[in-house]
Structure 1
């Protein structure tokens, strides 16, 4: 699902609004209420919930890799009376915040020698050995030429494989993706524009096979274009690891991180913790995925590595804590320091065209945006229903915000949250 953030330097898909945190010292936040430590974040959350724009919102914020998160929570899981309040254990559809988890899973396999960063994926998925590319991007799907290069693991990690996305592409290639069922995500039991897959595919293997029959939109390694690359990477992880993708995540990421509330399918027993997702239309909130009848209570056709997870603020904070600990959390080494440093570094191929991208001015790592220059040290991504999660290694900061509405562009939550965190940390440093 598309995740867009705006930094003070322009329209980018990065956490660049936190640029200044790279220059800040570690700040002690141990002895005051969360609202006092983060007044800008608090005011931002109040502005959405008290006004009725959104029924609930929670921020999970932390310093370093060891302390539990602070939370600033307002409102409820849904509109109406008698609905549970949001808290750190509430469940949210994190959509594209799934991508950094998938990306880090791949870097683990690279670190272990089961994959190589610049390895052609045709080594594992032979159907990708001879791809065709559109002569005109988003143009004819019959006017094609042979690809000059091979899709690599690096390309899948960084949206430079040349693959399409039904939420991004236009014209016949978009129609072909939807018709073929290449829509690796779900939002509602109701048909929604851009989210309907008339022929749902039954497995990651089938998804990969069908995707290989589609022309590429761009030559591999040349253009950053938001894509289904992280979903295809799930199949690469399956072949390289010998495990199903969801089993690999459960065993190698969720269990050792202590992430007990992160699933591709929400257990029926946990529905009371699940938020309702809304569409914002004409100033109204329309429930498109009510918790009690959520599509996330059903098993998905296959695990969507680009947009499929539901998680809690506490759980996703544990993932961010693990990254800040360079792979270590609560005394357990989940992944190596080298793998974390690789995944949170700029992995874009040299010369990648960013001119039409929404990460212009930034880099891209394993499924997430990477700050460059004064922004260095920031890594993270956002989700299509208003969620954001990121770390900044130089400041030792981790932060996430969780609410549920679509489209994400209806409100500037992504931008405002990063800016509010930056303002609070900057003021704390000035007062120190």
Structure 2
């Protein structure tokens, strides 16, 4: 059901408030399960040092962990086809033998054997035992995001810090799920997304991609010691140096954080999930029965969880 004009203006007022309070700019898009655009709005500029205005049709953002939803959809598609098992640990051992060899560093120092075997369900629900080095001090690294430079070894060499199936912790689990999608499908992750998710939903090639054009890219910022926002080098800039198809195929395409997208294109994915896995605009179905799993709690009540902070 469309929003009233008063409701739309109320949303825009809130968004303008963020810009007035110091955010350089933003693009907002909201749809419903029928494919109706409820609100689509842009305010501010692409960077604090730029005069280029945010554009609801053209501005591209690094969507970081919003990539994880797309990777989960890809994995669930292959579950529906019988090519991936959610709960068969032997399947994970076969497809990603690197995981079965890993030790668990619960204290950050002492290696221990895995008490349970990792499953795809654990990977999709962040309960497999992997973490992010920029969050968890038990992982020795330089503070950068794993996989940003296109080296798959950032993920393959990553350690377990929790016993599989014992607790929830945000981490590289969906990167591993993306690797499984690649190995099962025989496609790069970005290629799989484009063919099996983006094309059926009517998402354009420049609307969501692992290798974006920099022409319409929103700038990256961080706060300085004085609390003020300043522009900085893009945090996930490895894809910017990729210029050929061969380089794309060799570059690690991160299932956890690799996508760039326009908000108005990304919400087409959300609209399909809201509509039981079928695009309300193209009529194409990207998920069938497994879409229901996306609305169910996959974390047992007794699990310990860790904060993102």
State the TM-score bracket (shorter-chain normalisation). Answer: 0.7 to 0.9
1:313 matched to 2:263: yes
What's the counterpart of residue 223 of structure 2?
Answer: 280
Residue 28 of structure 2, aligned match among 59, 62, 70: 59
Distance 2:24 2:155 in 1: 38
Q: Deviations for 1:209-251, whole angstroms, at most 9, x for unmatched residues? A: 423xx3x211101110111001111111111222222211111
Give 1:327 shift: 1.6
1:44 is paired with a residue whose SS is helix
Distance 1:107 1:298 in 2: 31
Distance 1:123 1:81 in 2: 50
1:45–1:74 contact (8 Å) kept in structure 2: yes
What's the counterpart of residue 133 of structure 1?
Answer: 104
1:343 matched to 2:294: yes
Structural mapping, 1:12-411, within 5 Å: 27-29=1-3, 32-33=4-5, 36-51=6-21, 53-80=22-49, 82-120=51-89, 121-134=92-105, 137-140=106-109, 143-170=110-137, 173-175=138-140, 177-178=141-142, 183-186=145-148, 202-203=151-152, 206-207=153-154, 209-211=156-158, 214=159, 216-260=160-204, 261-267=207-213, 271-281=214-224, 282-289=226-233, 296-299=239-242, 301-329=251-279, 330-349=281-300, 351-354=302-305, 356-357=306-307
Give 1:185 shift: 4.6
Q: 1:122 to 1:81 in 2, by over 3 A?
A: closer
1:265–1:298 contact (8 Å) kept in structure 2: no
Give 1:305 shift: 0.9
Unaligned runs of 5+ in 1: 1-26, 187-199, 359-408, 410-432
2:208–2:261 contact (8 Å) kept in structure 1: yes
Aligned length: 295
Give 1:74 shift: 1.3
1:145 is paired with a residue whose SS is coil
Distance 2:180 2:238 in 1: 26
Distance 2:151 2:259 in 1: 17
Give 1:68 shift: 3.2
Q: Deviations for 1:68-125, whole angstroms, at most 9, x for unmatched residues? A: 3521321122235641333143111111111111111111111111111112211211
1:174 is paired with a residue whose SS is coil
2:28 is paired with a residue whose SS is strand
TM-score by length of 1: 0.63
1:75–1:86 contact (8 Å) kept in structure 2: no
Give 1:333 shift: 2.6
Give 1:257 shift: 1.3
Q: 1:309 to 1:79 in 2, by over 3 A?
A: same
2:147–2:155 contact (8 Å) kept in structure 1: no
TM-score by length of 2: 0.85
Distance 2:117 2:299 in 1: 15
1:41 is paired with a residue whose SS is helix
Distance 1:238 1:295 in 2: 20
Which structure's relative contact order is higher, taking Cα pairs within 8 Å and 6+ residues apart? 1
Structure (1/2) with the larger strand percentage:
1
CA RMSD of aligned residues (A): 2.6
Distance 2:27 2:156 in 1: 40
Q: Which moved more, 1:78-87 or 1:318-327?
A: 78-87
